[in-house]
Amino acid sequence: MISGRLRRNATGLVIAVPLVFLWLAVPAMRAVDRGEEAKQRRIRIDLYSGLSWLDPRALNQIVDYDTGVRKLAYDDYLDYLKAGGAILAWSKEGEGRERKIKFGVPFGIRVRYSVSDFLAVSVGLEAMRGGRDGSSLIRYVRYISASDINTESLDISAYRLKTRAYAPSVGIHLFKRFGSLDAEVFFAGGPLFAACSYESRVNYTWMMQSPVATGVPFSSESLLAQDGSGTGVSLEAGGRLSLPVFRRVDLFLEGGCAYQVVKSLSGEGSEIQGGTLATWKGTWREKTETLTTPWGLRTWRFPTNYETEASGTGDFRLDLSGFRLRIGVSVGF
């Protein structure tokens, strides 16, 4: 439900932003004439924000792993117990709210210098953040008999999967004026400084209810946190429309396709299990893990910076490529 609402909101934004852009700019086209004075303003400063469509598949695999392990350990296990007659029935209350990263929000500044009436060069810096926070409470209830009930509660108090990136760039802009309207294509590139982080905190409680006694024989708290950072490359190609709103100020809308990849990340990790804290530093890798149980066998591939000599690991890369939509203002000097 949440992800569906977010997709609808994003779609609405894609439709609404160009309409707002035109609504603001069309009246200004009638009132503002660039003229020779505007043409001579060779330096412009752009400020913008917008929306980035992301699909960091390697990083998002950790969500598939977490939800898959929980399903195998609880849902599939309880089905197995019921099929074997060990319990009468079971029920589940609540759902996990682990969400994959699908969007990011960029903020940027760009300084442009017009070399001629059709060519400009630029330097810029863009910061982008993407990620999802979640929390949920899940209860699994086992009906061993009509009066003997066990309840296992998973209080996922924090679930965070995040990325952030900083991309300084140098760009080339080819533009053409159509009256008050500027249309352009641009190409930009530079280094990419990116990072990712993951955190999962779960409080587990097992409660027994029977005619003889009621209580909590076992409870525990677990925490797994990992982060990493690295340097990669950022390349982008796109287009832009600019319209004047004041004598020195333009409103612009631009879209582009970006290639942003970091092929090596390293960072710190920590884990709390049974009251014991473990910490480490390592390089992010993709690990393949197979869990075999009497009620099923599952194989997952997921990222981690916990280094191991075991087989089944591969290279990890943080891919923040995708479509960018930006709206901003450009001030001429």
Q: pLDDT digit string (tens) for 164-211?
A: 999 999 999 999 988 888 999 999 999 999 999 999 999 999 999 988
- Please give the Cα distance from 44 to 176 (Å, whole number): 16
DSSP secondary structure of 33-45:
--HHHHHT--EEE
The tens digit of pLDDT for each residue in 12-35 reads: 544 454 544 444 444 444 444 444
The segment with the largest mean pLDDT, out of 3-12, 204-213, 261-270, 272-281, is 261-270
pLDDT at res. 67: 93
> Is the pLDDT assigned to residue 104 strictly greater than 70?
yes
Over 70: is that where the pLDDT of 11 sits?
A: no
Q: What Å distances lie between residue 33 and 29, 37, 38, 114, 229, CA to CA?
A: 7, 9, 8, 19, 48
Q: Is the pTM of this model over 0.85?
A: no
Count of CA atoms in the C-beta half-sphere (13 A) of 136 = 16
**Residue 213: is its pLDDT beyond 60?**
yes
pLDDT score recorded for residue 290: 92
Q: In the chain, what percentage of residues exceed pLDDT 90?
A: 74
| Residue 173 DSSP SS3 | strand
The arithmetic mean of pLDDT across residues 315-327, rounded, is: 96
Nearest to 82 by CA among 1, 156, 141, 2: 141
What is the pLDDT at residue 309? 61
Tens-place pLDDT, residues 108-166: 999 999 999 899 999 999 999 999 888 899 999 999 998 899 999 999 999 999 999 99
- pLDDT confidence of residue 176: 93
- pLDDT-above-70 percentage for the chain: 86
- Residues 6+ away with beta carbon under 8 Å from 294: 80
Per the structure, the count of domains in the chain is 1
pLDDT value of position 32: 45
Integer Cα distance of 82 and 251 in angstroms: 63
Give Cα 231 distance to the centre of its chain.
18
pLDDT value of position 180: 84
> With left for phi above 0 and alpha for psi between -120 and 50, is residue 49 left, alpha or beta?
beta
Residue 50: half-sphere exposure toward Cβ, Cα within 13 Å:
26
Q: What is the mean pLDDT of the chain?
A: 88
pLDDT at 315 over 80: yes
Supply the pLDDT for residue 6: 44
The residue segments making up the domain with residue 268 are 2-332
Question: CATH no. for residue 297?
Answer: 2.40.160.20
Q: Could you write out the DSSP letters of every residue in 266-329?
A: EEEEEEEETTEEEEEEEE-EEEEEEEEETTEEEEEEEEE-----SS-EEE--EE--EEEEEEEE
Cα distance between residue 290 and residue 310, in whole Å:
12
- DSSP-derived letter for residue 312 is -
Question: Which candidate, 188, 57, 58, 186, places its Cα nearest to that of 126?
Answer: 188
Region 246-260: mean pLDDT is 95
Per-residue pLDDT at 233: 98
Q: 304 with 317: CB under 8 angstroms?
A: no
Residue 22: both structure tokens together: 């035109």
State the pLDDT at residue 51.
Answer: 97
Q: Which residue has the higher pLDDT, 34 or 271?
A: 271
- Strands across the sheet with 296-304, in order? 296-304, 285-293, 313-315
Distance CA 272, CA 316 (A): 24
Query: Could you give the CA distance from residue 164 to residue 181 in angstroms, rounded to a whole number?
Result: 34
Q: What is the pLDDT of residue 132?
A: 82
